[in-house]
Chain A
Amino acid sequence: MPLSAFVTVSAVLFGMGLYGALRRTNAITILMCIELMLNAVNINMIAFSRHLSPDPVRGQAFAVFIMTLAAAEVSVGLAIMLAIARRRRAVDVNEVNTLKG
């Protein structure tokens, strides 16, 4: 498979995730869209490391670190969201405006 096929899919996937993260107001769905974007980046990392990098390990190592970060991010994000949901019975980010000036 040519490299351009993978990077095209990855770009479209990232665009979808970006649209969702900006458009949706449910905090859980926003986290899901961020996960989609991180996965698109991972596809890019692995595709480029397979085709262009002088050292094919490099992209895979970075993908491992991105996965670690994504797991940490999702656990803390969902914990924050649960704490908010316990107080307000809602996870709509428009209603969480206590810190708004």
Chain B
Amino acid sequence: MNVNWQMVAFAFLTGVTLYSAFRVVTTPNVTHAALYLAVAFVGIAGYYLLLGAEFLAAVQVLVYAGAVMTVMVFAIMLSGMSDIRGQRLSLFKQLTSPYWGIFPFLIAAALVGTILAAYSRSPLPAGDGRTASLADLGKALLSTYLVPFEVASVLLLAAMVGAIILSRREGEN
């Protein structure tokens, strides 16, 4: 019995992630899209685990599946959208709709096709699968990437202040 469990895990993750991503893109209901997006984020965290980036997998679950999804669900609830269910359109009708019609699909398909054709033409080297420990990552962030790290923290502060100001009701002090 010789099962490659990494392969099994990869196939499972691929199925879950791509199906969820497909539903995010196609489902008319915004709330469903948000919940499927959370599933896709957890699947992507699984990819990070397979790639040996445990810290990033944990951050992915905390930041994306936790914080970003919470903010999105709150935004959906607070926006008081009249058509939260959206209109259900068949795939055929979406592709032939007067609004851009088939062009988004063509652009995306051309991009993916070009990338995959390039990969198949010049096969990627196998590589040796080195992995960086959390200690390495921490050292790099506070030495090599110190300036981008500080800029990122200032950016987060600016985004926080901006979000508070933008979402404040007018006429409040």
> A residues near B, CB below 8 A?
1-9, 11-20, 22-26, 28-29, 31-33, 35-36, 39, 42-43, 46-47, 49-52, 56-58, 60-61, 63-65, 67-76, 78-83, 85-86, 89-91, 94
Contacts and interface: CB of A to CB of B under 8 A. Distances in A.
A58 B120 CA distance: 26
Q: Is the interface of B mostly helix, strand, loop or mixed?
A: helix
25 contacts: A2-B126, A3-B125, A8-B116, A9-B17, A11-B111, A11-B115, A12-B112, A15-B108, A19-B105, A19-B107, A20-B25, A23-B94, A23-B105, A24-B25, A29-B24, A36-B21, A36-B37, A51-B128, A67-B60, A74-B71, A76-B162, A81-B79, A85-B78, A85-B81, A86-B169
A87 to B, nearest CB: 9
Given A9-B47, A35-B68, A52-B125, A72 B14 contact: no
Contacts of B124: 2-4, 7, 51-52
B162 A18 contact: no
A78 B6 contact: no
Nearest to A22: B104
A11 to B, nearest CB: 4
Contacts of B44: 39, 42-43
Size category of the B interface is: 35 or more
Interface string B50-93: 11110110011001100110011001101111100010000000
A16 B129 CA distance: 28
Nearest to A47: B51
A2 B51 CA distance: 10
Nearest to B22: A16
B167 A1 contact: no
A35 B125 CA distance: 29
B28 to A, nearest CB: 9
A15 B25 CA distance: 11
Contacts of A47: 51
Interface string B120-158: 000111111111100011001100110010001001101
Most buried by A among B25, B34, B99, B107: B25
A72 B155 CA distance: 7
B127 A83 contact: no
